[in-house]
Amino acid sequence: MDLARIKKELETRCNLKQNSKVLVGVSGGPDSLCLLHILNKLGFPLVVAHLNHKIRHSADAEADFVAKMADKYDLPFVLMEKDIKSLAKERRASLEEVAREERYWFLFTTAEEHQALAVAVGHTADDQVETVLLHILRGSGLRGLTGMQIKSITKYHDMIALIRPLIGIWRVQIEAYCEQNNLHPCFDESNWDNSYSRNRVRNELIPHLTDFNPRIKDRLLSLADILRGDFWVLEKFAEKAYKKCMIEEGIEYLLFSLEGIKKEEIGIQRLILRKALEKLLQDLREVDFQKVEMLRNFIFNPNSSRHMELKKGVNIYLRNDSLVITLKKYPPLEPNWPQVKLIEQLQLKHPGLIKLPNGWLIDIKTVSVPKVIKSKKKPGEIFCVHIDVDKLSQSLYLRNCKPGDRFNPLGMGDRSKKVSDFWIDKKIPRWARSHWPIVFSENRIIWIPGFQPAHFCRIKGDTQKALRIEVKKAVA
């Protein structure tokens, strides 16, 4: 085994220096034992960590073995025990998935405690081939076909890298190295249990594919390397497009320009959406090609509600010309949408500037009719309206919407419609309606801010006196 090449890759591709402390995850098997021996031989400061998952009868013996190896090399050793079977039952998840999650959280927490710069694990070229095949079987996109990276930042820590120094080395080479260096690893009998999908790929699928091409593993490893290079070129274009389409990044939600995404080529659309889901979910394993394509299809062919639950806890909303991807039940509201929670109706004295709850103001002024007729609404003045004050027989009030409310919007003559239907026509989502302020007089709605006034109190040629009403955010 070429240790000089491994050291060079650790320095150039993993950005490690000779004094960089590394936490090594050691199970006691050939791969991790070989990794420990090599890193120790190369002189890196090491911490050895082992998670006893209590799954197999040999688990305690394996933990003792790793502890003795750490003691032999005079290295710090950290052991944690977890009842993975109980956790898997409690979470209703597979043993394989829970064991993986618990192991990585343990490794990265321990690495932070020991001020390690990286967590090293013993993934090999064989693991890479198995991963690529698993991704193909699950329906992966381009990203999944690139396999595992030699260095990556994961959801487990945003500063400490996960490194795989043996990712280009075959298992037969590792077993030969163990034999040459008098290393006697533990062998995991569960590797032959084909109820695990990875084991079935390793023990059944790969031998079958080898009948078609004896060098199938080399070909698949080469494919992952080639696609990885191509993928990172595309990723640079996608990063620019992502930033261009991004409107807002908030807590547990992302807001994008819908038209911006639609204008991109299909491949870039997929990469933008994948990147968005990864950013929210922080786990590549939760973002497969089917989810990305489902989201992309929804953008072009939405349902009537313009809402979709992509997966449990991930909600997609199309709002006017924007796409909202959120981990919350409802998307964030448009910043200029007035939201005023009123316990009871509020009398509006005019003229006057009245402070409203939730940081909003309502400004009412008397204006000359000629000025109103000549004036043109400026962009952004949708929350301003002029009404004929003589058409009002009583005072103005402000309240929130009530069930059964009807509105006679400008342009409908003497006809009216349910306010609930009006909201639907204007594409105002249900969660934004209950606190939307409504101006009314004598139980007739005068104006719903953001839209046209009532038809009966519109400004006409014979209007003698007008009111200008504006709803706006208070300036901090």
Is the pLDDT assigned to residue 380 strictly greater than 60? no
CATH assignment of the domain containing 276: 1.20.59.20
Q: Of 212, 244, 259, which closes a domain?
A: 212
Report pLDDT for 171: 96
| Other Cβ atoms closer than 10 A to 26 | 28
Calculate the average pLDDT of the chain: 90
Cross-strand partners of 318: 323
Q: Which residues contact 335 (CB under 8 A, 6 or more apart)?
A: none
Tell me whether residue 13 is in a domain. yes
Beta-carbon contacts of 271 under 8 Å, excluding residues fewer than 6 positions away, are: 234, 235, 237, 238, 241, 242
pLDDT of residue 394: 78
On the question of pLDDT at 448 being above 60, the answer is yes
Give 446: exposed, middle or buried? Use CB within 10 Å, 0-12, 13-18, 19+. buried
Q: Are residues 133 and 246 in the same domain?
A: no
Tell whether 19 is covered by a domain: yes
230 and 122 within one domain: no
- The answer as to whether 432 is a domain residue is yes
166 with 245, same domain: the answer is no
Same domain, 152 and 131: yes
| Residue 63 pLDDT | 96
189 — pLDDT class (breaks 50, 70, 90): confident
Same domain, yes or no, for 197 and 305? no
Give the pLDDT mean for 20-30: 97
Residue 82 has pLDDT above 70, yes or no: yes
Band of the pLDDT at 407, cuts 50, 70, 90?
very high
The per-residue pLDDT for 305 is 85
Residue 305 placed within a domain: yes
Predicted local confidence at residue 285, as pLDDT: 66
Q: Which of 185, 212, 239 is the endpoint of a domain?
A: 212
The whole-model pTM stands at: 0.70
Q: Are residues 87 and 160 in the same domain?
A: yes
Residues 191 and 291 in one domain: no
| Domain that residue 236 falls in | 225-326
Asked which of 326, 356, 386 is the last residue of a domain, the reply is 326
| Mean pLDDT on 273-287 | 82
- Pair 269, 261: CB distance under 8 Å: yes
Q: Is residue 334 part of a domain?
A: no
pLDDT grade, residue 207 (50/70/90)? very high
Q: Can you tell me the distance from the alpha carbon of 323 to that of 117, in angstroms, rounded to the nearest whole number?
A: 38
Looking at the 3D structure of the chain, how many domains does it have?
Answer: 3
217 within some domain: no
Q: Mean pLDDT check: name the lowest of 116-130, 367-381, 452-466.
A: 367-381
